[in-house]
Amino acid sequence: MSSSQAASAKREKILMLFTGVLLLAISIPMLNYLFGSSVTVKLNQKKVLGEKVQELNDRIQRAETSVKQLETDIQSALPNDNDKAAFLYKNWLLDLTGNAGFEKRDIQQKAVRAVKTGRQSEDQYRSHQFSIRAQGTFTQLGDFFRRFYSVNQLHLIRSVSMKPVDDAKKLDLVIEIEALNIPGTKNTELVTASNPLMAEVPWPEMTQTVARRNFFAAYVPPPRREERPVPPAAPRRVNPTPYTYINAITWINGKPQVWVTLRTEGQKYKLHEGEEFDIGSTRCVIHKIHDRSVEVKTGGTLWGIELGKSFAEAEEIPGEEKGEVSESEPIEGKPLDEETVSDDESMPREPESEVSEDGP
């Protein structure tokens, strides 16, 4: 094969490769246009169907709960015969109000109302409405509530109105009650089973709490308890010894003077030999003042403290007799220049709170 033919074959291969790449680039958008939209639609349809399935499952669960509640209500309903149900329930209310201690009792059946729901032609339930008029106290009313709700019947108290008589010792009561019977119930007598939900209710405590209140008088708040004042916390005691420093030794009017600073209290003492001061609860006496140290006596013990150091760094001076204070010895060396401390600074002997720190 000649060189021209080889070059021509090479060009043809390059052209075919380029054509294939171009076709692939064109076909991908076309395929996505033709089939991609249908995939998206299918995914959206799947999501909608999943939501509908979840909604149907929720409705089924609610329906199952309603069926279980309906079965429980049917077991607690009044007898299916309307006349018999009204007669038995009215007699039961008569016994109940008598056991509670009500007086002047009058119990009347107001109406029987059939209730239908939706498109159903049959009655879903029948509502028997009763009214009780009587006289009683708050304690008797609480006992009536306890007896009423302790029986597991399908009934409830719609309203209670109270009017005070005899200075609110007794009440004129009007109690509206509703009881239901449901078609299909097998009950032929009133249900007398106890209500398990009321077993743990503290009725006596609740009744006494209500009976102690006079609802028809102005509210009087209960007496306030006398609150004992809480004693303030004891201040934290800090050992002041590490914070008490010998700041300066100087001469004032020919006499040596030492400056002692209590950093915990921000106070400074300017003291001569023989003068006293307190560090916390400890009484201290300036025994001797030297050029670079001071001797301090506390409780019969003599301590030596160097200039610039704290009282926590004091060293006991042996050989001194307990309780004895010797005469001051002259201080060696020259006094400080009078420019360091002026004459008017030698006058005060009380603690000063606004003197700047001179020590380290």
What local confidence, expressed as pLDDT, does residue 340 receive? 36
Query: Does residue 261 contact residue 244 with C-beta atoms inside 8 Å?
Result: yes
Provide mean pLDDT across the span 19-32: 75
Structure tokens at 32: 């996505």
Query: Does residue 261 contact residue 274 with C-beta atoms inside 8 Å?
Result: no
What local confidence, expressed as pLDDT, does residue 80 receive? 82
- Nearest Cα residue to 123 out of 111, 132, 114: 114
Query: Does residue 268 contact residue 355 with C-beta atoms inside 8 Å?
Result: yes
pLDDT band for position 107 (cuts 50, 70, 90) = very high
pLDDT band for position 120 (cuts 50, 70, 90) = low
Structure tokens at 40: 């998206």
pLDDT band for position 350 (cuts 50, 70, 90) = very low
What local confidence, expressed as pLDDT, does residue 319 receive? 64
Q: Which residue matches tokens 């996505």? A: 32
Res 352 pLDDT > 50: no
Query: Does residue 85 contact residue 97 with C-beta atoms inside 8 Å?
Result: no
Q: What domains can you pick out in the chain, each with its CATH number?
A: 82-211 (3.30.70.60), 241-346 (no CATH)
Res 208 pLDDT > 70: yes
- Cite the DSSP H helix spans in 173-299: 203-211
Provide mean pLDDT across the span 193-202: 74
Res 351 pLDDT > 70: no
Burial of 332 per CB tally in 10 Å (0-12, 13-18, 19+) = exposed
